[in-house]
Structure 1
Amino acid sequence: MQVEIWSDVVCPWCAIGKRRFESALARFPHRDEVTVRWRSFELDPTAPQQRDGTLVEHLAGKYGTSVDKAREMVGGITATAAEEGWEFHLEDARGGNTVDAHRLIHLAHDRGIQDAVKERLVSAYVSEREDVGDHETLARLAAEAGLDETEAREVLASDRYLDAVRADEQQARAYGISGVPFFVVDATYGVSGAQPADQLLHVLETAWAESHPLQVLTPAGSADAGVCTDGTCAV
């Protein structure tokens, strides 16, 4: 079974959704037969490579509210994240364009360590105030997660995997995805938002049952074996 997850590395709810999905997957009996693929989604494709100011200041300007109100918004999501084991430090988070981070995540898929690189980049943004739009920072973080730093730098200096990022975004539009995180199970079930782990587990169980229907086998010569049907087993 394949689970594709559209998300962005500067999306706090995506980080929370990641933890909730991991909790659901840990409780799923067939977890060893689930393949997880992280897909690209840019919350702000027009963002500069590095954005001036803090996240709180950016939110205040974006929503036309005060810095104090923006700080309250950040505090609320920080509290929710803590319930899932995250230690957010978003007040001074350093935003920017994420297309290069997504390109490294595609490289990581080809090297078999996509989840590790995804985790490192997300954690760097939400918890460590790292600048995930900066190439030097990205190369270092990628190496910390297990990628070859020289190869990571080569990718960042080129346009490799840009077509893969754009293909993910095109598929997101085809699915009608307008917000993240968004989970797609076996290209059949879609789940929008950082839903609770119990709900994500239910989706996994439903998708598994549909793709693995029970097959009833009747051994040769046992067609007349005792079976109760309506009206035939009255006692």
Structure 2
Amino acid sequence: MKVRIEMTQDVACVWSALAHARLENALEEFRAEGGEAEVVYRPFQVAPDAPVDGEPLSEVHRRVFGPDVERNIARMADLAAKDGFTMRFDRAVFANTLDAHRLLAVAESHGKGEEAAGRMFRAYFSDGLNVADPAVLARLAGELGVPWLPEDASDEVPAAIARVRAEGVTSVPRFVISERTLPPGAPSTGDLLNALRAAAG
């Protein structure tokens, strides 16, 4: 039985990035055991008013959370490293993610959703790319091997975001595995793997 995983996420959400890294690790082990799974990505925007031209994420963090944020950032980077994900907050660009979600939707329609999601999180948190920049999105689409025009999925993604909010979702990440909603937040790799095994029966 193929397990269906719904992940509601935002490219700009640090916990979504961590959760996706853990999901990738869990899926690798689950599939190595012979399990089958598909991931469906549902879009959410943590900061829908974020600028398209972007600004350094480190400056946004200091402005919003104050000088003590550096300790939390270091802790988060260490946590991510344990799951094999590199977080470079000194390089990350705070930018609007609407078009990044559009590219992810297009990639999903070509069977490359998991690959695209992983690449988007790395682009944002590891590579310091502005995921609202049309040139960056065109480059990422080229890497993924999917066609891309700025108007692709133009109406579909805002409508999907509205549906998620109408369901009462106010934070991400959120996982639903074979219709079972997991506790909010970023489950451990082990918890995700156990949920996949349980869903597979």
Could you report, residue by residue, the CA deviation over 1:185-222 in whole angstroms, capped at 9, with x for unpaired residues?
2233334211111111222233333xxxxxxxxxxxxx
Choose the corresponding residue for 2:60, options 53, 58, 61. 58
Q: Which residue of 2 aligns with 1:46?
A: 49
TM-score, normalization by structure 1: 0.77
The structure number with the bigger radius of gyration is 1
Contact 2:54 2:130 in 1 (8 A): no
Amino acid at match of 1:195: P
Contact 1:120 1:142 in 2 (8 A): no
Point out which structure has higher relative CO (alpha carbons under 8 A, 6+ apart): 2
Q: Which residue of 2 aligns with 1:214?
A: none
Distance across 2 between alignment mates of 1:140 and 1:207: 37
Q: Relative to total residues, which structure has the larger strand share, 1 or 2?
A: 2
Amino acid at match of 1:22: E
Distance across 2 between alignment mates of 1:42 and 1:18: 16
1:170 CA drift (Å): 3.0
Per mean C-alpha deviation after superposition, the further-off stretch among 113-122 and 167-176 is: 167-176
Q: Which residue of 2 aligns with 1:2?
A: 4
Choose the corresponding residue for 1:188, options 176, 180, 191. 180
Aligned length: 197
Distance across 2 between alignment mates of 1:184 and 1:90: 29
Amino acid at match of 2:19: G
1:10 CA drift (Å): 1.6
Counterpart check, 1:96 vs 2:95: yes
Distance across 2 between alignment mates of 1:77 and 1:139: 30
Distance across 2 between alignment mates of 1:72 and 1:14: 20
1:75 CA drift (Å): 1.0
Distance across 2 between alignment mates of 1:206 and 1:200: 10
1:81 CA drift (Å): 0.7
Amino acid at match of 1:44: A
1:174 CA drift (Å): 4.1
Per mean C-alpha deviation after superposition, the further-off stretch among 76-85 and 138-147 is: 138-147
Q: Which residue of 2 aligns with 1:15?
A: 17
What does 1:77-96 correspond to in 2, within 5 Å? Answer: 77-96=76-95
Give the superposed CA RMSD: 1.8
> Where has structure 1 moved over 3 Å in runs of 4 or more?
none
SS in 2 for 1:128: coil
Contact 1:5 1:184 in 2 (8 A): yes
Distance across 2 between alignment mates of 1:202 and 1:116: 22
Contact 2:9 2:42 in 1 (8 A): yes
Distance across 2 between alignment mates of 1:95 and 1:188: 32
Unaligned 5+ residue runs, structure 1? 210-235
